[in-house]
Chains A and B, each alone.
Chain A
Amino acid sequence: MKPENQLQNEQELPPFVKTWRQFYRLLISWLVFLIFIFYAFTKYFE
């Protein structure tokens, strides 16, 4: 039998993506994207 919180997590899905794990990946990708964009910004205007 699955733990209660695991069951609850599976029932409540995030918007736009299929699982919470995908949402976390999306957030990490967003962070990497921002770092890349800010780096390009720094280099372009310096």
Chain B
Amino acid sequence: MSAIDWAVLVLTLVVIVVYGIYKSRGEQNIHGYLLGNQSLPWYHVCLSVMATQASAITFLSAPGLAYSSGMSFVQFYFGLPLAMIVLCITFVPIFHRLKVYTAYEYLEQRFDLKTRALTAFLFLVQRGLSTGITIYAPSIILSTILNINTTYTTLFIGSLVVFYTVYGGTKAVSYTQMLQMSIIFCGLFAAGAMVVHLLPANIGFVKAISIAGKMGRTNAIDLTFDPNNRYTLWTGLLGGFFLQLSYFGTDQSQVGRYLSGASVSQSRLGLLMNGLVKIPMQFLILLIGVLVFTFYQYNKPPVFFNSFELNKLEKSKYNPELNKIKAEYSLIHKEKEIAVNKMNAALDKDDAGLVDDQRKVLQEADQKEKSIKKQVTDLMVKNDKHANTDDNNYIFLSFVTQYLPRGLIGLLIAIIFLASMGSTASALNSLASTTVIDIYKRLIKKDASDHEYLQVSRLATVFWGIVCIVMALYASKIGNLLEAVNILGSYIYGTILGVFLVAFYVKSVNGRAVFFGAVLTEIVVTLLGWNEVVAYLWLNVIGCMLVIFFSLIIQAVIKHKKSA
């Protein structure tokens, strides 16, 4: 990176942190620290929930995904507006009316202490472990790009977030997230405009999309019922709905964001606006990936986008084999370039037959390119069995660092830092809220002063910050930890959602039934997951359904015993 890029990167980060601290200055109490005095307007709520959900990987993976397999990922978010409506009708008014700090507090009012403690504990385990990955994942990418050791990037992101989250609490988190999202939107818009600008003179915006479309990259909607297809309209609407409902309704890192709204109305509006904006935003991010794809039809892309892994292979004994593959790759790209130019001419003439012919040629070349990539990754694994063979996250970054002008590179690298900081800050804040409200205040010291709770909240934020940073540092030593944490999340999310759904919609079930139902579900889900009976994503749905089922059965047994 050039000096200008470094200056932009450092300035952006400093401005964000100073702004967050400035806006949250002044004397605070526990209500202000954990809920921002419930004074925030809807646009704060909206940007805050968006920043919490969007991790750095969102902005890196999505364009890479569009580049390699098209835009079908947008369907993953179709369940989100529906989930927002359910949240606004049920969750938001109840949480506001009961004046709770955490979602789990409500469960004690509805059921009993043990159900509250169980769900709070499950949340702390799951969120505590996964936040380490939220810091680690972008750290490893940034360390590759900036050529800095992962430990430093992890420590830098982690300590910066801990600093302003400890100081300013929810208000600092929310104000920084608002600015972060504004910068992220501007940066992505600039990147999109630059891709179009960098295309050949005779290729405009619509033409670029047309070319990508002919190669299967504009597949935004898939109406098939193929169960093996991860992203279709149906999985997006049904699976996405359950996933988003459990995430926004039961994960304190999101509940804490919308509870900071000034009223039911402001919280609702923030969530509904998120439902309005999220899908078009994701579509536009994917569209950038599609434009990058067309750009690389005219400019030879690297044979593998993760330069760190490629350099490792080049320095190994497998370099001669790699060179042969690279030569073959160059030939295929030339073939492709000729076919793309012919396709362009055919599109100008509106010659459907010729377009179809060139489409076939291009699709064949695309397949050949994929098989060459497979040969490269096979060599990588031969050379180092722990090599990272997935380069999706590096496609957009590689483009940014190679082709974008100075200054903009720094801004886009800053975006990765900001996105990671936004979701980490929310997570730390929610971990502290749950520790203090559901554990310390409820189980350890009920009658402490407001000042003491505030100090304990700050200490809890520091504690969880350290845990997450250590987790992130440890993650670099174990290759498959990322997947392990995702699996752990699936073991837990479904159960918590099931408990909340019973709380809201099955009034006849009491605390004892739902508690034992949840414990039984955890045992069954763990066994199913451990023995790999189903793909781990299904554990969310199974967990949710089982809690409802077991609770009803246990409640019926209790009722029967009482009447007997």
State the A residues within 8 Å of B (CB): 4-5, 8-9, 12-15, 20, 23-24, 27-28, 30-31, 34-35, 38-39, 41-42, 44-46
Contact = CB atoms under 8 A, between A and B. Distances in A.
A27 B221 contact: no
Contacts of A8: 93, 97, 264
23 contacts: A4-B97, A5-B93, A5-B94, A8-B97, A12-B263, A14-B265, A14-B268, A14-B269, A15-B269, A23-B272, A24-B85, A24-B272, A27-B84, A31-B78, A38-B74, A38-B283, A41-B220, A42-B218, A42-B221, A45-B212, A46-B216, A46-B218, A46-B219
Contacts of A27: 81, 84-85, 272, 275-276
Contacts, number: 74
B84 A45 contact: no
A19 to B, nearest CB: 12
Contacts of B212: 45
* Chain A interface SS verdict (over half): helix
A44 B221 CA distance: 12
Interface in B270-288: 272, 275-276, 279-280, 283
B60 interface: no
Nearest to B86: A24
A9 B264 contact: yes
Given A5-B97, A15-B269, A35 B263 contact: no
Interface string B83-101: 0110011000110010000
B461 to A, nearest CB: 32
A20 to B, nearest CB: 7
A46 B352 CA distance: 12
* Chain B interface SS verdict (over half): helix
B93 A9 contact: yes
A34 B280 contact: yes
A12 B432 CA distance: 31
Interface residues of B, number: 34
Nearest to A39: B221
A41 to B, nearest CB: 6
B210 interface: yes
Interface string B208-219: 011011101011
B82 interface: yes
Contact of B210 (A12, A24, A45): A45
B46 interface: no
Contacts of B275: 27, 31
Contacts of B265: 12-14
Contacts of A13: 265
Contacts of B89: 24
A9 B267 CA distance: 12
A38 B219 CA distance: 9
A41 B221 CA distance: 9
B233 interface: yes
A2 to B, nearest CB: 13
A34 B279 contact: yes
A38 B265 CA distance: 31
Contacts of B219: 42, 46
Contact of B81 (A12, A30, A44, A45): A30
A17 B221 CA distance: 30
Nearest to B276: A30
Contacts of B93: 5, 8-9
A31 B81 CA distance: 7
Given A5-B94, A5-B97, A38-B220, A31 B279 contact: yes
A28 B81 contact: yes
Nearest 10 pairs of A and B residues by beta carbon = A45-B213, A12-B265, A38-B220, A45-B218, A39-B221, A5-B93, A31-B81, A24-B85, A42-B221, A42-B220
Find the residue from A5, A15, A46 having the highest chain B CB count within 10 A: A46
